Amino acid sequence: MFLLGDPSIDLWITVFLVGVSFIISLVVFALAKRKILALIVFSILVNLSLLLNIGSEMFRVYHIKWLGYFSILIWPLLNIFFIAYYIRTKPKKGK
């Protein structure tokens, strides 16, 4: 939780973390060559970067409280479904 007191700084930190998440997911895609795995990594990392900053005034000041609620209530469920889908459809090695 950043809580630096300035919502604009919190927003820039969150945007920076989303950018880092995008770069990490590109690296995962380049190494694994699986789009769904890169999407899962990106989704989980972005959700974590929002959850780290959930107590910030940024959500109230910029009128994005819905994003805070979404990242707490719905996004983790979507990530669980993404992971379950990936596990079910992952190709078996050696075939």
| Tens of pLDDT, residues 37-55 | 899 999 999 999 888 888 8
Which tokens go with 14?
């969150």
Mean pLDDT of 57-69: 85
pLDDT confidence of residue 92: 65
The sign one gets for the Cα dihedral 72, 78, 84, 87 is negative
pLDDT confidence of residue 7: 80
Average pLDDT, the chain: 86
pLDDT confidence of residue 4: 59
Distance of CA 33 to CAs 4, 19, 23, 44, 93, Å?
A: 38, 20, 15, 18, 15
Q: Is the pLDDT of residue 63 over 90?
A: no
Which tokens go with 64?
């994005």
Concatenating the DSSP letter of every residue in 60-92 gives: HHTT-HHHHHHHHHTHHHHHHHHHHHHHHHPPP
Q: pLDDT band at 84, cuts 50/70/90?
A: very high
The sign one gets for the Cα dihedral 68, 47, 2, 10 is negative
Q: Are 7 and 15 in contact (CB under 8 A)?
A: no
